[in-house]
Amino acid sequence: MESVMKKRIRLLISCHDQPGIVAAISTFLNHHGANIVQSDQYSTDPEGGRFFMRVEFDQNNDSITFEALKTAFTDVAAEYKMNWRMEQASRKKRMAIFVSKEDHCLLELLWKWHSNELICDIPLVISNHDELRDVVEGYGIPYYHIPVSKERKAEAEQKQIELLHQYNIDVIVLARYMQIISSHFVDTFKDKIINIHHSFLPAFIGANPYAKAFERGVKLIGATAHFVTDDLDEGPIIEQDVLRVNHRYSVPQLRVAGRNVERVVLARAVNWYLEDKIIVYSNKTVVFS
């Protein structure tokens, strides 16, 4: 298992569709001793549309390093003007979790991480409150309490950014963080911030979605995991799911029931991110699930 993971590589590509791309990629991989384990490819339109591909392969040729393989691929990539990245499955991504006071999404991530369902490192958790320190530290993870007040928001964000850089963070998960993120922060970590919104977006954008859902009398409540952009709740959707409710649910009961769909949806989205299954394009996601 260990050895398999060490040599497994994932290649993600997005580019203008042109004839011969798949042949070029697979011939390149074959020449470099790679054995394709799984591949998914999709074109929005074969006549000049957008081409998306995810290839998972085992690099059997020990004579070439991962870095050299990436360098070698640059030529193929240039020819087709690809947006691309190559990732080693064995290199665990470094994930920061932001929380506020609610623990359900945090606990789901920690449990799945602890039981090896989420393959990543979690070097730190950041919160604007101190409530969840014990549970986080209980897992041996540093907990940073950075209070966020209206006046000193920029300062708080600066501290957060420093920590994220210091810990070499790859991805930030807002596990019910409940704070608006500034444009500056979003730009610094473009397509690397995953949020869980407690509604089926675009229904009930903004605050208090469960109160709005109650008011409207919906028969399903939902949750949406999405990348954070400058527009509140408007970023590329990664995953959504719903839960059946009925007239007997009060707002607090909707909130409690909703936790269950929130944590499931967030965990699924995070997992896809960690397994390099998501390509963002044109404010949407292609998910090779």
Where does this chain bind its own copies (CB under 8 A)? 4, 17, 19-23, 25-27, 29-30, 33-43, 46, 52, 58, 60, 103-104, 107, 111, 115, 117, 138, 200-204, 216-220, 222, 236-242, 246-248, 256, 260, 264, 283-287, 289
Give Cα separations from 259 to 181, 231, 288 (angstroms): 22, 24, 26
22 vs 163 by CB, closer to its own copies: 22
Nearer to its own copies, 22 or 161 (CB): 22
Whichever of 127 and 240 has its CB closer to its own copies, that residue is 240
Please indicate whether residue 191 is annotated as part of the active site.
no
Chain mean position to CA 248: 34
Inter-residue contact 45 to 59 (CB < 8 Å) = no
Minimum CB–partner distance for residue 161 and its own copies (Å): 28
Please state the closest distance from residue 63 (CB atom) to its own copies, in A: 15
Cα 69 → chain centroid? 25
| Shortest reach from residue 288's CB to its own copies, in Å | 9
Helix (H, G, I), strand (E, B) or coil at 4: helix
Q: Which residue of the set 58, 103, 130, 233 is catalytic?
A: 233
CA atoms of 235 and 193, how far apart (whole Å): 10
The CA distance from 264 to 233, in Å, is 19
Burial of residue 234, with CB atoms counted within 10 A of its CB: 0-12 exposed, 13-18 middle, 19 or more buried:
middle
CB of 160 to its own copies, least distance (A): 27
CB-nearer residue toward its own copies: 26 or 90: 26
Report the run of H or E that residue 267 belongs to, with start and end. Answer: helix 251-274
Q: Among all residues, which ones are annotated catalytic?
A: 233
